[in-house]
Chain A
Amino acid sequence: GDSVTQMEGPVTLSEEAFLTINCTYTATGYPSLFWYVQYPGEGLQLLLKATKADDKGSNKGFEATYRKETTSFHLEKGSVQVSDSAVYFCALVNFGNEKLTFGTGTRLTIIP
């Protein structure tokens, strides 16, 4: 079945550091890929998405590129802020399945 593997956390960085959170997936066909974020005390919310190979999703300074050859969708940000502290989830949905499958999440803490 479909699955998503994320780098284990927690991840702690200093403000203005470069961020990468790794995500790889296993799926048949051509899934759509997502990053969701959960800020403290809030519900999950969609951060960005990509629906086909080589697409780049971006939002709030975060980017992720759909790499079919490496089955990856790594999340990056050039300069993190304290307000980026949250739990980040990689997810996929496969055509015809409709079920959004999540990774285990990566907790990110940014230190001033």
Chain B
Amino acid sequence: EAGVAQSPRYKIIEKRQSVAFWCNPISGHATLYWYQQILGQGPKLLIQFQNNGVVDDSQLPKDRFSAERLKGVDSTLKIQPAKLEDSAVYLCASSLARGTGELFFGEGSRLTVL
């Protein structure tokens, strides 16, 4: 069974530029999550989708971050414009059911903002 795929693995941009990350969840997983992991901290949930609807985006900085999940499968997370404090690893995860806590994570996309 293929795991959660993410790209790119690494991205370096300058502040005020834009960046987009892509995620393909495990086939059949209806719930998709984007987490932000800043160095030395635990992952923080940015947004959760159920199929192509948003369940929780309470911690998403909506003035600069946006995310979509077209057709309830792939998802993209965009940052525009980026700030220095956005330097982090962006983790995508999926799960078969909501609320179980059993998530399958991708390897992450490491963003460095200069």
Contact = CB atoms under 8 A, between A and B. Distances in A.
Interface of A: 4, 32, 34, 41-46, 49, 89, 91-93, 95-105
B24 interface: no
Bin the interface of chain B by size. 20 to 34
B20 interface: no
Contacts of A42: 107
B42 A104 contact: yes
Does more than half of chain B's interface fall in helix, strand or loop, or is it mixed?
A: loop
B61 interface: no
Interface of B: 3-4, 33, 40-45, 48, 55-56, 91, 93, 98-108
A33 to B, nearest CB: 8
8 contacts: A32-B101, A42-B107, A91-B42, A98-B48, A98-B98, A99-B56, A102-B42, A105-B41
